[in-house]
Structure 1
Amino acid sequence: MSKAFASTSDLSDKKVTFAEIGRDLYAFTAEGDPNSGVIVGDDGCIVFDAQATPAMARGVVERVRSVTDKPIRYVVLSHYHAVRVLGASAYGAQGIVASAETYRLIAERGQEDWDSEYGRFPRLFRDAESIPGLTWPSLSFSGRMSIYLGKREVQLMQLGAGHTSGDIVAWVPDAGVMFTGDLVEYHSACYCGDAKLRQWPRTLDAIRDFNPTAVVPGRGDALLGHRTVAEAIALTRDFVTTLYGVAEMSVARGRSLKETFAAAREVMDPKFSSYAIYEHCQPFNVARAYDEASGIDDPVIWTAERDREVWAAMNES
């Protein structure tokens, strides 16, 4: 029998924190589970990243209602992954916004990603039967666009690829606060199965150049203050460059995928094994890094079957 996914043993409930990180700006975090952000303006709100199911999204709605009765006008999706988008229907928003590239990825691989993620990490899909189907953006853009909540401007931007090819951030200029999705993590492993690893550090540079006073990362605690933000960006950069560096060297030396996995563990375990979801992510991370170093630019679609095959191949004794 093949070894079960590391995430299947992660069954404990996580403590949710809902913290104000700037004027009328909030971070919904849960000890390494996917984060959401809330932006409150003069005449409404934006939720940044929707959670995995409508039932789980209602936990975000409850927190929003604890601080404002203004309507949730928009749900903004940082990227296409199921744990970020499938709860969007719970908000009753007038618009669901994402990059045009995220829309393309949903069409190309959204169902496969849903099946894959649910199979890997079922705890993150509480009350999965509440999901009505794939989440389709009603508004998509390339480059950048602004949403105005009364006088408050929220700038949505593609600063570059990284976690996926469709990543966007939300920048609130009147507060100097950024919502980055999984482009930045804090004491959590980066999931790199759909990554553009060579481009990711340049995208982190672009985020750093905004000099945010606070950041809501994809996973981990909200980041308050320039020093903590800089630390999180540096930790994320260290993770992705270390991963890709090992894979690049392994491919150059003609190593197999399993040999590359062993080499990555030797280098990465001492630095990153304490990070949330590290054990879960690492086989998928190494597989993608190995592919990219081998010249496969567009990430191979993860299916439930491919998940099991890769996991078994890298974890067999």
Structure 2
Amino acid sequence: MARSTCSLRSSSTWPPPRGPAVGLPQDWHSSGSSASLTAMANNGDVPGDGSAAGPGTWVEVADRVWTGVLEPDAVTIGLVAGGDGLLVVDTGSTPAQGAALRASAERLTGLPVRAVVVTHAHSDHAFGLAAFDDVDTFGHEGLADELASAPARARAAELGVDPGDLRTPSRPFALAAGVDLGARWVELAHLGVGHTRSDVVVVVPDARVVFVGDLAESAPSPVDGSPAPWFGPDSVPEEWAATLDAVLGLVARGDVRAVPGHGPVMTVQDLMLQRGQVAAVAGEVERLVRAGVPAERAVAEGRWPFPAEHVAEGVPVAHARLVAAGVRPDPPQLPLLGR
């Protein structure tokens, strides 16, 4: 399952394409869930490798909470059912894909979509929003500027999306919002910045599920097969770990399922490991600045917990931000303990 691009950048090299050989196996959902939570409902859609198809299969990860996968970026989208209707988590890469997603969700449940939340502005999560103009749509208030940016419009052109069809949420929020689905309450929260400046998590308290967007990822890297998030030019590695600390506070009990933006459900241990790795990226960027390594050599000279391809776009920007904030190379030290 290729993930060709997930950022707003027009460059097709961010992130590098995910090859099919390292895609998720068909039964990835069964590895960490009991049989009662892995019921699959085949909804009749035929998934394609383009950006107009809905999910081919829905996986029920908790009571009336499903996940599906949309191509071409293998994005994990969510569906939450209440008594009155549905909440969709993320919308796919194009308005056509958003429409296919909506039809699939309503066919699966027999309920109408009442609300949508976008976890961040990247194309695979946000560009299908035009298919939901008649319902409440939620997202961080920063999405408006990000979706109006030149990189967003360039990415839309790559996908064949009219820039006029890029929508911003009708119900933007700064910190938190709630959605009443009838007999089920869903909470939306901006816990901090990290993967982007507009990251939002979606909490379904009674089902004990948290959708974390791309703050964490369990999909295998095309480089070495290990789980790894992507650091883009809009990422903030120096604050990302603190945001994951807040996420960990939500899933501290072992029975809470964390659904990432790409890949299968993650455990608390998975999140803790990735939190430490993200912190290591931030620490390594600062070490390089203090060692006098210039931004253009930082990726090559750094020691990274993820493949270098995963940090290549984000590290130079973070390096420049630290320099602008006044971080300077350390002065030479005397060899007090000898040479």
**By the TM > 0.5 criterion, same fold?**
yes
Closer, same or farther: CA 284–16 of 1 in aligned 2, 3 Å: farther
Identity %: 26
Counterpart contact for 2:215–2:229, Cα < 8 Å: no
> 1:46 corresponds to which residue?
87
Cα distance in 2 between the residues matched to 1:106 and 1:188: 25
> 1:181 corresponds to which residue?
213
2:278 equivalent to 1:240: yes
Shift of residue 83, structure 1, vs aligned partner: 2.5
Shift of residue 66, structure 1, vs aligned partner: 4.4
User: What amino acid is aligned across from residue 113 of structure 1 in structure 2?
Assistant: A
Counterpart contact for 2:93–2:128, Cα < 8 Å: yes
> 1:75 corresponds to which residue?
116
- Describe the superposition over 1:253-302 as per-residue Cα deviations: whole angstroms up to 9, x where unpaired: 211223211123xx23xx533xxxx73x43212222222332369xxxxx
Q: How many residue pairs align between the two structures?
A: 272
From 215, 227, 244, the equivalent of 1:204 is 244
> 1:135 corresponds to which residue?
167
Counterpart contact for 2:75–2:92, Cα < 8 Å: yes
User: What amino acid is aligned across from residue 109 of structure 2 in structure 1?
Assistant: T
Counterpart contact for 1:184–1:233, Cα < 8 Å: yes
> 2:306 corresponds to which residue?
272
> 2:256 corresponds to which residue?
213
Cα distance in 2 between the residues matched to 1:102 and 1:9: 25
Cα distance in 2 between the residues matched to 1:71 and 1:170: 19
Counterpart contact for 2:15–2:230, Cα < 8 Å: no
Greater relative contact order (Cα 8 A, min sep 6): structure 1 or 2? Answer: 1
Cα distance in 2 between the residues matched to 1:80 and 1:6: 15
Cα distance in 2 between the residues matched to 1:129 and 1:295: 36
SS at match of 1:199: helix
In terms of Rg, which structure is larger? 2
The aligned runs of 1:77-92 (5 Å cut-off) are 77-92=118-133
> 1:190 corresponds to which residue?
230
Counterpart contact for 2:14–2:313, Cα < 8 Å: no
Mind listing any 5+ residue stretches in structure 1 that lack a counterpart? 298-317
2:318 equivalent to 1:289: yes
Cα distance in 1 between the residues matched to 2:56 and 2:277: 25
Cα distance in 1 between the residues matched to 2:143 and 2:88: 17
Shift of residue 240, structure 1, vs aligned partner: 2.1
User: What amino acid is aligned across from residue 243 of structure 2 in structure 1?
Assistant: T
Counterpart contact for 1:185–1:219, Cα < 8 Å: yes
User: What amino acid is aligned across from residue 63 of structure 2 in structure 1?
Assistant: R
> 2:26 corresponds to which residue?
none
User: What amino acid is aligned across from residue 99 of structure 1 in structure 2?
Assistant: H
Mind listing any 5+ residue stretches in structure 2 that lack a counterpart? 1-10, 21-48, 219-226, 327-339
Counterpart contact for 1:25–1:39, Cα < 8 Å: yes
> 1:148 corresponds to which residue?
180
TM-score by length of 2: 0.71
Closer, same or farther: CA 118–105 of 1 in aligned 2, 3 Å: closer
Shift of residue 63, structure 1, vs aligned partner: 3.7
Counterpart contact for 1:52–1:87, Cα < 8 Å: yes
Shift of residue 21, structure 1, vs aligned partner: 1.0
Cα distance in 2 between the residues matched to 1:35 and 1:25: 13
Coordinate RMSD, CA, aligned: 2.9
Counterpart contact for 2:84–2:111, Cα < 8 Å: yes
Cα distance in 1 between the residues matched to 2:276 and 2:56: 27
Counterpart contact for 2:216–2:229, Cα < 8 Å: no
Shift of residue 40, structure 1, vs aligned partner: 1.0
Counterpart contact for 1:246–1:263, Cα < 8 Å: no
